[in-house]
Structure 1
Amino acid sequence: MESIAIVLVLLLAVVVSSMLVRLSPVGVPAPLVQIALGAAISVGTGSSITLEPEVFFLLFLPPLLFLDGWRIPKEGLFRDKGVILELALGLVVFTVLGVGLFIHLMIPSMPLPVAFALAAILSPTDPIAVSAIAARVPVPKRLMHILEGESLLNDASGLVCMRFAVAAALTGSFSLTAALGTFVWLALGGVAIGIAVTWAVMVAKDAVSRRIGEDTSVQILISLLIPFAAYLLAEHLGCSGILAAVAAGITMSYVEQRGQVMAATRVRRSVVWDTVQFALNGVIFVILGEQLPGIVAGAAEVVRETGHHDPLWLVVYVVAINLALGILRVSWVWVSLRLTLYRAAQKGLTPPRPHRRLVIATSLAGARGAITLSGILTLPLAMPDGAPFPARDLAIFLAAGVIIVSLVAASVGLPPLLKNLELPPETEEATKEDAARIEAAEAAIRALEARMEQADGARETDAEIGARLLEIYRQRIEGRTKTGSEAEELRRMEAAERQLRLTAIRAEREAIFKASRARRLPDDIARKLIREIDLAEARWGA
């Protein structure tokens, strides 16, 4: 009963944090509010949640990594694969070695493997927090795609590096040759299992659906179970469950392109996954805040063992680690940019040089978040001989401090960096969108014309309706093929039409609600009509 009460309190704190963020006039990042609420819960109750690292890892990481892989824009991932791999793999190794050695030199009482483990888990970035922070400023889409791709891959690489470092801390030995061989097995096996599990489940599901029909609730539940199945199977076979969850998500996005799922299933499933992501991300930060008082006390004790009696040295450590992370990231981004420009010059291309502020923003956008927190909380509680894991509380405190400082730095620094920044027009995506809309409209016209030709003896009213629909699609094609001022005028008219339609749709919904409240409309009919109106609003509000 107590466990259920704890879960409910954590979820309530997530709800309250969302309301407080919306009420905040300065746009405080939600993770900071959630950490504060968690600390308030701990101080108010005087108790702390006992976390089982393996259970915590299993509950939070697979669905979050799966969803990242499912929703990341694949075209941007492959287009900027060079830059993304440089950030997600090269920068991770650079960070683990550089920051790990720096932490060990700064805090000699923290063993080198533990320092490397801390550096590894600090390497993953969190684009969700950055996108929330940067919602008020124009972040280039391509930059966000790069940050999302980097986060997706460095989540996996950082967590795998942490796994090696923890193993070295537990066993007291490390072999580079054995580690490379193990890494290849972990990576290839994890990716293969993730792909195989998703593909097999979806093929079996489609076969059953064709035979007995599709149940939306069952489809949603299957999608929720896939990341756990991939993760657990990979871990059971000695492969990387982390990479399996990521690969399962990417595979899911390709499987979905077959269009075998009903529209209603896609709509409802998207809402469910949005809720899962919101709840898991929020609960992770609330748990951090709830653990923070105990973590600070444990970290202060470790600091005293280093010869520093003032707990303020904890703040010094956090600031120093953030500065080290920032310097390494700026250096790596600068070198990566130079390499990209050099490769383009070798091919005879002259890409536009990004503004210096944009380069700094790319570096500052490396805020840490949920993956770092969930990973650091999985550090073992004890060594094989039963002794406490060395400097565990200090490592967790430093990770939490880096998360908080990086979020604050991004929140304060990104808006002025990106404000009034002249960005090159991103016409490529608009052109592709217009082409896709034209292609879809042409397909609709062909289908309507074929349907009207096949309808023998159609009533005159049916022919009028068909002609009206054909005219709508032909106007859409004509408008999308215009350029210059005509295209701008078309977009202005579309925006005006969208606002008028939304006004009418909302009036419809209020009328339905009014009729339902007055008991002039049965509840089941009211729910059906409201859902239709909501879907229409979602279509025009996009």
Structure 2
Amino acid sequence: MQTVFLVLLLIAAVVAANAVYARFNLVPVAFLQIGAGLLLSLIPLYQNFELEPEIFLFVIISVLMFNDGQNTSIRKLSRNFGTTLSLAVVLAMVTILIVGGTTHLLIPQFSLALALALGAIITPTDAVAVSSITTKVAVPGRVMDTLENESLFNDASGIVAFNLAIASLITGQFSVWHGIGNFFYVFVGGILVGLFLGYVIVAGRIMLINMRVDTPSVIVPYTLLTPFVVYFLAEGIGVSGILAVVATGLIHGIQSERLRLTTSRLQIVMTTTWSIVASILNGIVFVLLGVSLPSVISHLQQRDTGSVAVLIGLGILLYVLMTFVRFLWLRFDLARIRAWNNHEKTRNAFVVALSGVHGTITLAMAFSLPLTLNGAAFPYRNDIIFVAAVVILTSLLVPTIWLPLTLPKQVEKVTEAELATAKSEMVADAITRLQNSHSDNPTTSQVTMILEGQRALDGRPKRSQLTELFDQTYTIEQQTIDQMVAQGKVSDELAERYMQVASNTRLHNQRTFWQRFGLFFKFMVIGKWSRNQRARARRKELHQYKPRAGQTREQLTARKMEMWTQLRTVEQQPYAAVRQFLTSHTTPDNQQAIGIVRRAYDERHRRLSGNRDSQKDQNEMLIEAFQLEYNFIQSQIGTKKYSAELGNQLYEQISTDQLVYLQSVNAD
């Protein structure tokens, strides 16, 4: 139970760091996650917290590598295969040897096998970490493709070399030819096993789709379990489980078109699920770094007060050395990135060298070092973890500072203002055409409101603005009901019952907990004691629907039906007054908030009226409206008014809106 609690806290720390980054993205999210881990380290439960090393490879790395594989563009990978192979395998091996030899030379206490293990740990790059620090600069497309492809395979190269170094450290024996042969067996064998299992698993998933067993509850767990199964089977026969899951992920990417022959709902659920899982797992590793750093530093200081300074210097030196080797490798065309001239070649080499950011895989391998070796504590385990942390932090800081000075600022192809304007024009055109062709159909007004909400819900209205609107509409309902009571159209009892419904509408749509609590307290506590005894008794009776003395169940049911029929009649006039108010007070500044309020009242009106006969007409008209929006975008792209990028974003939003609206309506 304690382990579950600790893991949940790690996830909570990741969520908190991601939430902060969503509002303040000046600092890379990895630093925020490390900071969250440092805060967790203050909790006594985490002072001696350690996960089993195998968990990192099996649970974290295998899942991340599979996800990277299935999201890799096979076309780009095949086009740059030579460059990818040179960087991810040859350069990775050269870097491991240089880093290992340098470390062993500078710190003889590190055996050659241990130094090579350190080299294998800090060599892999992380495309996700690169993306987090390059969001505001324009990285050349060919350079970014190279970095993504490299990170996919140099992770595997590093892990294979790491396993060989650890095996040599444990056995105390190492043969060059045996090591090379074993490397190729593990490397190539992992790829072949992954390709075979990938085809088998994809065939199974396609069979489920053809059998129409493609619900999210089946396909999503099926896909999530894939990397675990592949890793377990590959490791069981002695080949690289990581390369196997990468190869299986690539097969999923190749077969992506066939795998998409399923419902839109499943596609959205699948994409969202993998995005969340990858984000959480990446974040957990950085949070764990923050959690572990204080303990690692404490152990190092207990052994030697100068150890921390020496290891910091070693980490910075190794980072500079790896960066310099990467630059030379590309500048002298040992790995080619197409460039127009020498200046562009030098710039690309410099950007790729600086973008050799180290992240999740480096940390995960450092944490996967054995806790013991031959029955004793693993030597220099804390040292290696600390050096890896220094390399990671340095590799994040340096490009964060230098890349903006080297590359131009990122220019958005489609701005938020352009997207909002285009969406407004699209919705307006669909509404106009719908009203012209269905002017006599009462369902048209309901569909129009939904489409208006589609436009208005784009953006984030101010909380205070939304609250004020709900307060104003509630006041309008109160005034309308008071007038109806004064005119003798509504009894006091029915008016009170209706205002309770109106209050619930405002209560459920308030944006903050304290606003909800305040309204609840005002209506249920203060209001309860301010009314007379007779009104309280009537309200309680209406709330609980208890039979009166001598009243049968049938009579109680008839009384409830009569009350709801009366409420439906009463609701017409306040609802019309609210709609008129919202229409007359709509401005460009408040249309998002107006749309939310209008949707809330329309939904309440539809449910309260009990009119579900028009549901089929509404569905059909919604489908027609969405098709009109598609046609509008096509015409705008055809006349060059909208760019292809803008059109694609609008298409994506329409698809999502169509799925959400139709599913929410059908759910009723």
Q: Name the CA distance, whole Å, in 1 between partners of 2:29 and 2:118.
A: 24
1:139 counterpart residue number: 139
Which residue of structure 2 aligns with residue 371 of structure 1? 361
For 1:391, the equivalent position in structure 2 comes to 380
1:452-491 to structure 2, matched below 5 A, reads: none
Report the CA distance shift for 1:290/1:136 in structure 2 as closer, same or farther (over 3 A): same
Cα shift at 1:161? 0.5
Preserved contact between residue 292 and residue 397 of structure 1 (Cα < 8 Å):
yes
Query: Mean Cα displacement is larger for which, 60-69 or 309-318?
Result: 309-318
1:258-277, aligned counterparts within 5 Å? Answer: 258=258, 259-277=260-278
2-structure distance, mates of 1:9, 1:81: 41
Would the alpha carbon gap of residues 301 and 120 (structure 1) be closer, same or farther in structure 2, given more than 3 Å must change?
farther
For residues 426-449 of structure 1, what are the alpha-carbon distances to aligned partners after superposition, in whole Å with 9 as ceiling and x for unaligned?
xxxx9xxxxxxxxxxxxxxxxxxx
Could you say if the C-alpha distance between residues 512 and 163 of structure 1 is closer, same or farther in structure 2, counting changes exceeding 3 Å? same
Residue aligning to 1:42: 41
Find out whether 1:285 has 2:286 as its counterpart.
yes
**Residue aligned with 1:366, SS:** coil
Deviation, structure 1 residue 239: 1.1
Counterparts of 1:297-336 in structure 2, within 5 Å, are: 297-301=298-302, 304=304, 309=306, 311-336=308-333
Percent identity, please: 32
Query: Counterpart amino acid of 1:389?
Result: F
Cα distance in 2, alignment partners of residues 310 and 47 from structure 1: 21
**Matching residue's letter, 2:291:** E
Judged with a 3 Å threshold, the aligned counterparts in structure 2 of structure 1 residues 501 and 328 are, in CA distance, closer, same or farther, namely: same
Match of 1:360 in 2: 350
Counterpart amino acid of residue 39 in structure 2? A
Q: Which residue identity does 1:126 align to in structure 2?
A: D
Report if aligned partners of 2:424, 2:455 keep a CA contact under 8 Å in 1: no
Residue segments in structure 2 that go unaligned for 5+ positions in a row: 429-451, 459-591, 630-648, 658-668
CA 1:363 to 1:493, structure 2 compared with 1: closer, same or farther past 3 Å? Answer: closer
Deviations 1:445-490 (A, max 9, x none): xxxxxxxxxxxxxxxxxxxxxxxxxxxxxxxxxxxxxxxxxxx9xx
Q: Is the aligned partner of 1:506 residue 2:621? A: no
Matches of residues 45-56 of structure 1 in structure 2 within 5 Å? 45=44, 47-56=47-56
SS in 1 for 2:239: coil
TM-score (norm 2): 0.63
What is the CA–CA distance in structure 1 between the aligned matches of 2:80 and 2:401, rounded to whole Å?
28
Residue in 2 that maps onto 1:400: 389
1:538 alignment partner AA: Q
Greater gyration radius: 2
State the match for 1:427 in structure 2. none
1:296 matched to 2:381? The reply is no
The within-5 A match list for 1:216-295 is 216-258=216-258, 259-295=260-296
Does the CA contact (< 8 Å) of 1:111 and 1:390 recur in 2? no
CA 1:73–1:495 in 2, change beyond 3 Å: closer, same or farther? farther
* Deviation of the 1:329 alpha carbon: 1.7
Q: What is the CA distance between 1:315 and its match in structure 2?
A: 2.0
Question: Which ranges in structure 1 are unaligned for 5 or more consecutive residues?
Answer: 345-349, 424-429, 431-487
Which residue in the other structure is 2:92 paired with? Answer: 92
How far apart, in 2, do the equivalents of 1:191 and 1:502 lie? 49
Distance 2:69 2:242 in 1: 11
Instruction: Work out the CA distance in 2 between the residues paired with 1:513 and 1:229.
Output: 49
Deviation, 1:416, is 1.1
Does the C-alpha gap of structure 1 residues 301 and 493 become closer, same or farther in structure 2, counting only changes over 3 Å?
closer
Aligned to 1:410: 399
The letter of the residue matching 2:355 is A
Distance 1:19 1:329 in 2: 35
CA spacing shift, 1:383–1:508, aligned 2, 3 Å: closer
Superposed, which structure 2 residues align to 1:94-113 within 5 Å? 94-113=94-113
Deviation of the 1:106 alpha carbon: 1.6
Q: How does 1:197-208 map to 2 (within 5 A)?
A: 197-208=197-208
Instruction: State the distance in 1 between where 2:83 and 2:205 align.
Output: 37
Q: Is the 8 A contact 2:358 2:396 kept in 1?
A: yes
Q: Secondary structure at the match of 2:211?
A: helix
Letter in 2 for 1:506: R
C-alpha change, 1:326 and 1:541, in structure 2 (3 Å) is farther
CA RMSD of aligned residues (A): 3.2
Asked whether the equivalents of residues 187 and 239 of structure 2 are also in contact (C-alpha less than 8 Å), the reply is: yes
Report how many aligned residue pairs link the two structures.
457
SS of the equivalent of 1:519 reads: helix
Secondary structure at the counterpart of residue 336 of structure 1: coil
Matched, 1:156 2:164: no
Letter in 1 for 2:34: I
Return closer, same or farther for 1:340/1:366 CA change in 2, 3 Å cut-off.
Answer: closer
With the length of structure 1 as denominator, give the TM-score of the two structures: 0.77
Task: Select 2:422's aligned residue among 497, 500, 516.
Answer: 497
After TM superposition, give the deviation of residue 355 of structure 1 in Å.
Answer: 5.1
Q: 1:203 to 1:310 in 2, by over 3 A?
A: closer
Contact 1:199 1:255 in 2 (8 A): no
CA deviation vs aligned residue, 1:34-55 (integer Å, no higher than 9, x gap): 1111012102436232210012
Q: Distance in 2 between matches of 1:541 and 1:212?
A: 22
How far apart in 2 are the matches of 1:513 and 1:82? 57
CA distance in 2, matches of 1:376, 1:502: 53
Contact 2:61-2:364 within 8 A present in 1 as well: yes
Q: Tell me the CA shift for residue 397 of structure 1.
A: 0.6
Q: Does the residue aligned with 1:83 lie in a helix, a strand or coil? A: helix
User: Which residue pairs with 2:501 in the alignment?
Assistant: none
Distance 2:132 2:254 in 1: 27
User: Residue type of the partner of 1:48?
Assistant: N
Query: 2-side partners of 1:208 and 1:174: how far apart?
Result: 48
Who is 1:452 aligned against?
none
Distance 2:353 2:245 in 1: 27
Shift of 1:522: 5.4
